[in-house]
Amino acid sequence: MKKVTISALQKQKQNNQKITALTAYDASFAMMFDEQGIDVLLVGDSLGMVLNGQDDTLQVTVADIAYHTRAVRRGTERAFVIADMPFMSYASAQDSYQNAAQLMAAGASMVKIEGGRWLCDTVTGLVQRGVPVCGHLGLTPQSVHVFGGFKVQGREKDKAQQLIDEALALEAAGIQLLVLECVPTELATRVTSALSIPVIGIGAGRFTDGQILVMHDMFGISANYMPKFSKNYMADGGTLRDAVKRYIDDVHAGDFPSDAHSFE
């Protein structure tokens, strides 16, 4: 199977072919997801919660992400691998350059950072230095204490317009992918239509260019809780591989997420 590239993901958006993504943290699961045909693997700072049992993602370090990125890369032949930049690892542009270099050296094809317009100069600087960037808007878990918890974002009219404006600014600065988390379906649809780059949703409705889930949520084994936007694909039985295939098929068919997994 042909290796997934950013150009291939862009073509999927243009051809209205849904992008499938999962988090992965080790070689074994990465290999299984890869063999089933997943498009994107994210080495997420969610590992702090699902692997270490922490209450949030804030204690995860660059060294943690680099370690798991190396493992995921070893198990991957086809999928596009993205590595999260942890909390405060891109507080300044210079910090972002040094830390992104570590994650790219570990095997990432792209890094992901959370935040809006304030990151535009950092995004441009990273891209100029050869580091592809994925943005992340909506519920950005590293800002959980600013939000006062894990809450849906962009429900108010002014906040929705601000999110759209920030997405456009990030695209102009150079991001090539955008993750939208926990925003109303209608807002996610507007953002997806406004951007020329692929938009991958989690709790953002079915009309984004693709979907991503935390693998532990998809298998129904998260140590914390099952988010509204997730679905336990092991609930109907079968093997782990069967669950991954059902997820991929549902995303391709537009059956996941349903209204029950989305926000209005």
Catalytic positions: 181
Coil, helix or strand at residue 190:
helix
Judge whether 46 is annotated as a binding position.
yes
The DSSP H or E segment spanning 133 is: strand 133-138
Coil, helix or strand at residue 17:
coil
For 38-66, give one letter per residue: b (16+ CB within 10 A) or e.
bbbbbbbbbbbbbeeebebbbebebebbb
Question: Residue 148 phi/psi, 5° resolution?
Answer: 80, 25
In this structure, what DSSP letter does residue 205 have? -
Burial class (CB in 10 A: 0-12, 13-18, 19+), 16: exposed
Judge whether 249 is annotated as a binding position.
no
Return the structure tokens found at 139.
């519920």
Binding residues: 45-46, 84, 112, 114
Binding residues for Mg(2+): 45, 84, 114
Binding residues for 3-methyl-2-oxobutanoate: 45-46, 84, 112
